[in-house]
Structure 1
Amino acid sequence: MGSFHLPSYGMQTMLKEGHKLMSGLEEAVLKNIEACIQLSKITSTSLGPNGMNKMVINHLDKLFVTNDAGTIIQELEVQHPAAKLLVMAAKAQQEEIGDGANLVVSFAGELLQGAEQLIRLGLHPSEIIGGYSKANVKALELLQELEEAGSEKMDVRKTEEVVKRMVSAVASKQYGQESILCPLIAEACIQVCPANPTNFNVDNVRVAKILGGGIHDTCVVRGMVLKSEAAGTIKKATKAKIAVFGAGVDTSATETKGTVLINSANQLENYAKTEEAKIEELIKAVASSGASVVVSGGTIGEMALHFCERYKLMVIKISSKFELRRFCRTTGAVSLVKLGQPSADELGYADSISVDEIGGTRVTVVKNEESGNLVSTVVIRGSTDSVLDDVERAVDDGVNSYKAMCRDSRIVPGAGATEIELARRLRDYGAKETGLDQYAIEKFAESLEVVPRILAENGGLNSTDTISSLYAAHVAGNLKAGVDVEQGGIKDMTADDVWDLLTTKYWALKLATDAACTVLRVDQIIMAKQAGGPKGRPADGGDED
């Protein structure tokens, strides 16, 4: 009797071998929750002005030292599918508002931790989801009631108004430097703010990082700062007309692929001469169009440079195509493909272009004071690359919150005051609910305490005391009481102008709840066997943009 095969049962018969299946509460739901809580633990210690930094080294060996949750999460390359959902939510927040990614992850983590306790008590995930969704709707409603009266009428061109709304975003990245950075960021944003502020483009505020000096040497330049110097000997041009050639300024413009048969030395000499004459003719044509500056997006030939000097043309090379595009936008020039005489409307204009030295680095500064300025640059100074990168992130967040306030300038009290008040009111709301929802609403309210709790912990205060005294103050009617991380204890932080943008909170609560509910909805994870074959190449860092 030959050996016979027992058929395999269950999932094995249905799926290819090598698959993994996790199902049920223990294996799927709680494992997912655990992964998300781990992720939120990483970022939550970086929340707020006293947040700790993380050192992340990514797959290209680049070092990041930062407490910007958006950056940390992006560089961690999270593998776990459930934790990835939180990462996506944080990225959505980063793109929508530019600040508050940390709030999303920390809050979602808290919600899931609450959910875990409820599941262990025997609630079904769908009951928890129902409760959370109810609480979320209510929280967003209550949030609108907490807005500061009159804050929706804001002049986006008034520096102090802007700084007031920007401080919390910048201070959470660069605590102690916000008084230096905020006015600068505000100035840069206001300079490029279009007639209709809702059309504000974040890309128009540039950052140039130059080593040396300290943060206090940071300044704002109206116009662009290129981190390279002019190619020729001419280093300055005022009231300049600018011709931009995207493909480069070189003799190759005259060459065609072809074979030339040369029989004598004479012919060779003539051939070289004609090439020289040809390029001279082209450069002369550029000069006669009234241009005094030539910008090249590619190589600049020796001979071409020689003739540019002869015709007193300043030559600048911009190799990044993004920078070239911005340069065209700043000066209103059109990038030409072929070397030749540009027409009057293809020429750009700048009040002055000069090569300056900032901290031993030669830079080209393009200024446009009179003709409506389209780009402004924050020149950041600092001692090391990682400091510069971190300040750049703070500037980035500031600019993004400017964009957010252009759309919706309403503000709510900062420093955890809003969260505690929401938690207090949600608790009352939950107590009135019947059924199992009330437990989930209670947990939702409790999760909101995560913000003041972490602010207190990161500031080295006792979090339990802080939270109970916050509740006491809020019950007594002081709705603006928040965590004072400088002196310790609690006080009305709005006196020190600690405000948060309402939109930041609104989106963060929304995205975090959505992410948490999505994670809770999963009850099975089925992973197919990983495809074989060669591993794909990791994506490269790409250009700065």
Structure 2
Amino acid sequence: MLKEGHKHLSGLDEAVLKNIDACKQLSTITRTSLGPNGMNKMVINHLDKLFVTNDAATIVNELEVQHPAAKILVLAGKAQQEEIGDGANLTVSFAGELLQNAEELIRMGLHPSEIIIGYTKAINKTVEILDELVEKGSEKMDVRNEDEVVLRMKAAVASKQFGLEDVLCPLIAEACMQVCPKNPANFNVDNVRWKRQRWLYLLVVLIHLQHETKGTVLIHSAEQLENYAKTEEAKIEELIKAVADSGAKVIVSGGAVGEMALHFCERYKLMVLKISSKFELRRFCRTTGAVAFLKLSQPNPDDLGYADSVSVEEIGGARVTIVWNEEGGNSVSTVVLRGSTDSILDDLERAVDDGVNTYKAMCRDSRIVPGAAATEIELARRLKEFSFKETGLDQYAIAKFAESFEMVPKTLAENAGLNAMEIISSLYAEHAAGNIKVGIDLEEWCLQGCLSNENLGPTCHQVIRSQICCRCCLHRATSRPDNHGKTSRWPKEGAASRDG
């Protein structure tokens, strides 16, 4: 009935525990890259391309994971990256920690369905606690206030480029605010782009210039050849003159431009730009209000775009074309990234991408919670208190769920070279005393209060975190993707869990 070489696994030892072990191995790979002091990984994909990064989304994408259970964690990390743009490492690492604690419960004798019920209760309680930990007043935020945007963006950017967040965040915030629509909920991350060795804020009129065609012409005399050449020249000149008469100053082509067309463009003082990427052409049209033509023809005034100036300048030894559009506003912003190696530039691009997605998240939900592992320790402490109130076997699963949150401060401390057990015990002591905003200061190697009333940003690295990011991480780590790429809660798998 099945293919030759197939394997059939069943039972706890062969199926469930082996699947958990595969997920634990993937989680171990990404966990050491968590936080600002996380280690870089060197990954070589099937095309022999080298990646040196600490970005978990890139790592799991290029690893080409084959194990079916581990692929679920990969899909969870991808879903988190696509929806929020940050927190992929936390999603994969936290899911692996949950499965590791579930393995201990299984060896204690608990059935998988009982563990699922306990985890579900813990999830619901965690969401309630998260709402209580939200900083008062953070519900209302001006997404066009650069200081507030930079403050909330630093956590995501510093996780990729620790030490450069003070340089990158103002640039990213300025680019995002320039293209933010009147209704911030409609912010589109595609309107902020980044280029290597280029600058700045875009663009101008657009027409596709493609005049070359294939055909067969039979010429019987020199006179016919001369007339044919003159006819071709006259036709091209007529088209170029029609464009110039419409008021256009710049022609943007998506393909090659012939020498004859360039000659007439020079005669009528038209500037010609070539943009081969169709995605860049779409951005070009959107930011300038231009309409793309499939063939060269006389445009209507409504089809033309607008920009203040177009110039060619030299930046970092490279000649680039800069299109300014100051007075009319900007639909697209471009951030220039310069670095010594491709690996550095790749990491800078990922940091900018995380910052832009963080801005999108704060446009949807601006609520924040304490960072630097303060939220995780408080969740662990309250969930343990909640488990003592349960009377059934669920209390063991809830207690293990609470213990899983200790993974975050433990990993941050270990990656920074600190004593993890000492840090965790000190955090528990501070939170039990009522200091629920105390987290780990990785710069001073000590505990530090976060979200103080006088200053929202003391010296603590990840001072604040987006509440919506925390909720999505929790949802992705405790859900599974269905056949349509969406996610559903694990309790729907209760029947299947009994057989592994």
With structure 1 as the length reference, what TM-score do the two structures score? 0.86
Unaligned runs of 5+ in 2: 452-456, 481-488
Q: Which residue of 1 aligns with 2:312?
A: 355
Label 1:220 to 1:170 Cα distance change in 2 as closer, same or farther (>3 A). Answer: farther
Q: In the alignment, does 2:33 pair up with 1:46? A: yes
Q: Which residue of 1 aligns with 2:472?
A: 507
Cα distance in 1 between the residues matched to 2:267 and 2:3: 74
The residue identity in structure 2 corresponding to 1:221 is L
Q: In the alignment, does 2:268 pair up with 1:282? A: no
Query: Rg larger in 1 or in 2?
Result: 1
Is residue 56–residue 65 contact of structure 1 (8 Å, CA) maintained in 2? yes
Cα distance in 2 between the residues matched to 1:178 and 1:445: 32
Cα distance in 2 between the residues matched to 1:388 and 1:19: 44
Which has the larger displacement, 480-489 or 511-520? Answer: 511-520
Is residue 23–residue 523 contact of structure 1 (8 Å, CA) maintained in 2? no
Residue of 200, 207, 217 corresponding to 1:244: 207
Which of the pair is proportionally richer in strand?
Answer: 1
Q: Which residue of 1 aligns with 2:201?
A: 222
RMSD: 1.7
| Matched position secondary structure for 2:200 | strand
Q: In the alignment, does 2:128 pair up with 1:141? A: yes
Cα distance in 2 between the residues matched to 1:220 and 1:143: 41
Residue of 282, 299, 317 corresponding to 1:342: 299
Q: Which residue of 2 aligns with 1:11?
A: none
Deviations 1:37-65 (A, max 9, x none): 00010111111111111111111222211
Is residue 113–residue 497 contact of structure 2 (8 Å, CA) maintained in 1? no
Cα distance in 2 between the residues matched to 1:485 and 1:107: 21
> Does 1 or 2 have the higher relative contact order (CA < 8 Å, sep 6+)?
1
Q: Which residue of 2 aligns with 1:122?
A: 109
Label 1:405 to 1:220 Cα distance change in 2 as closer, same or farther (>3 A). Answer: farther
| Matched position secondary structure for 1:457 | helix
| Matched position secondary structure for 1:350 | coil
How far is the alpha carbon of 1:517 from its aligned partner?
Answer: 4.3
Q: In the alignment, does 2:383 pair up with 1:426? A: yes
Cα distance in 2 between the residues matched to 1:16 and 1:80: 18
How far is the alpha carbon of 1:261 from its aligned partner?
Answer: 2.7
Q: Percent identity at matched positions?
A: 70
How far is the alpha carbon of 1:493 from its aligned partner?
Answer: 3.4
Q: In the alignment, does 2:378 pair up with 1:435? A: no
How far is the alpha carbon of 1:263 from its aligned partner?
Answer: 1.9
Deviations 1:154-190 (A, max 9, x none): 0000011111111110000000000101111111100
Q: In the alignment, does 2:323 pair up with 1:323? A: no
Cα distance in 2 between the residues matched to 1:100 and 1:89: 11
How far is the alpha carbon of 1:19 from its aligned partner?
Answer: 2.3
Deviations 1:291-336 (A, max 9, x none): 1100001110111011101110000000010001111111110001
Is residue 251–residue 279 contact of structure 1 (8 Å, CA) maintained in 2? no
Cα distance in 1 between the residues matched to 2:64 and 2:310: 42
Is residue 452–residue 467 contact of structure 1 (8 Å, CA) maintained in 2? yes
Q: Which residue of 2 aligns with 1:531?
A: none
Q: Which residue of 1 aligns with 2:9?
A: 22
How far is the alpha carbon of 1:487 from its aligned partner?
Answer: 1.2
How far is the alpha carbon of 1:113 from its aligned partner?
Answer: 0.5
How far is the alpha carbon of 1:283 from its aligned partner?
Answer: 0.6
Deviations 1:324-358 (A, max 9, x none): 11111111100011211111111111111111211
How far is the alpha carbon of 1:434 from its aligned partner?
Answer: 0.7
The residue identity in structure 2 corresponding to 1:194 is P
Q: Which residue of 1 aligns with 2:55?
A: 68
Q: Which residue of 1 aligns with 2:483?
A: none
Is residue 199–residue 322 contact of structure 2 (8 Å, CA) maintained in 1? no
The residue identity in structure 1 corresponding to 2:286 is R
Q: Which residue of 2 aligns with 1:9?
A: none
Q: Which residue of 2 aligns with 1:202?
A: 189
Q: Which residue of 2 aligns with 1:183?
A: 170
Label 1:63 to 1:438 Cα distance change in 2 as closer, same or farther (>3 A). Answer: same
Is residue 90–residue 105 contact of structure 1 (8 Å, CA) maintained in 2? yes
Deviations 1:55-90 (A, max 9, x none): 111112222111111111111111100011111111
Pairing of 1:359-438 with structure 2 (within 5 A): 359-438=316-395
Number of positions where the alignment pairs a residue of Structure 1 with one of Structure 2: 482
Q: Which residue of 1 aligns with 2:289?
A: 332
How far is the alpha carbon of 1:365 from its aligned partner?
Answer: 1.4
